[in-house]
Amino acid sequence: MAVTLASLDWVACRYVVDPAGVLPPAGGPAGVERWGADEPVGWVLLLAEGEVVSAAFASALESAERGDAHAYRVAVECEAFGSVVRLRGHPVRLLRSGRHAIRVFPGGELGFVTTGKVPVLGAAVVARRLPPLPAEAVDALNAEATALAALAAADGVRPGFGRLVSSGVAGGARVLFGKGRGRLGWGRWIAAVLAGYRGLLAEAKLWERSQLGVRPPA
């Protein structure tokens, strides 16, 4: 979380969404608020834990402010094991003031729910950085999948076999067929397997929550 928040030290306000209730009630990083009933105004950027924004993001946002679009899609790159892969499909990660409904899409991908045609935000990039070793990456994805499952449950998503299969396939395919650079090869394959695992695990945890009757924290 610290790396993600640090990449946003230039924004006016920073909020943390804690659907799994893992943060202490009165705790949290200094200068960071919890996402609650009073939603922020202005532009809202959505990042998952472990994601950071590129150096060009601030200037791209300035150009967005001069446009008429109500939302923007943002390219996501996965950085892992000597590979950098720009994932297929660009989720809606930037939204103007309004109802900020967050959705967990198949593959464990976060995005805002919008209507109408949404353009891509220029050269702005969100970088998803996995730990350097696969074992560490699995531990990190386990914690992230718990949060994704809680967020999906809060949105009223029900577990199902179709979602279970599509999440694993969608997560792996976005990495495997993305545009890459650097030392690809095995790095890309490992990242693709972990991306598929991320989606599968989130769906499995969603099913587990439904079986245990776990409710999102108030």
pLDDT digits (tens, 9 = 90+) for 40-67: 678 889 998 889 998 888 888 888 888 8
Q: Which residues contact 168 (CB under 8 A, 6 or more apart)?
A: 107, 196, 197, 199, 200, 203
Per-residue pLDDT averaged across 68-81, rounded? 90
User: pLDDT tier at 94 (50, 70, 90 boundaries)?
Assistant: very high
Which structure tokens are listed for 186? Answer: 């095995």
Provide the pLDDT for residue 49.
Answer: 84
The count of C-alpha atoms lying within 13 angstroms of the C-alpha of 191, restricted to the half-sphere facing its C-beta, is 28
Whether residue 174 lies inside any domain: the answer is yes
Which amino acid is it at 87?
L
Q: Is 70 domain-assigned?
A: yes
Please give the tally of structural domains in the chain.
1
Residue 73 has pLDDT above 80, yes or no: yes
Within-domain flag for 218: no
What confidence tens digit (pLDDT) does each residue in 2-44 have?
888 888 888 888 888 877 777 766 656 677 877 765 666 788 8
Task: Write the DSSP symbol of residue 62.
Answer: H
List, in sequence order, every residue forming a beta bridge with 94; answer none if it has no partner.
45, 72
Q: Give the highest mean pLDDT range of 79-83, 157-161, 167-171.
A: 167-171
Question: Which residues constitute the domain of residue 168?
Answer: 2-212
Give strand pairing partners of 85.
Answer: 78, 180
pLDDT at 38: 63
Position 218 pLDDT exceeds 60: no
Contact (Cβ atoms closer than 8 angstroms) between residue 51 and residue 126: yes
- Mean pLDDT score across all residues of the chain: 84
DSSP 13-43: --EE--TT--S-TT---TT-EEP-SS---S-
φ, ψ dihedrals at 93, nearest 5°: -115, -10
Percent of residues, the chain, with pLDDT higher than 70:
90
* pTM of the model as a whole: 0.84
Largest Cα–Cα distance in the chain? 48
CB atoms within 10 A of CB 81: 22
pLDDT value at 216 more than 70: no
In a domain, residue 217? The reply is no
pLDDT for position 43: 87
Q: What value does the mean pLDDT take over residues 155-172? A: 87
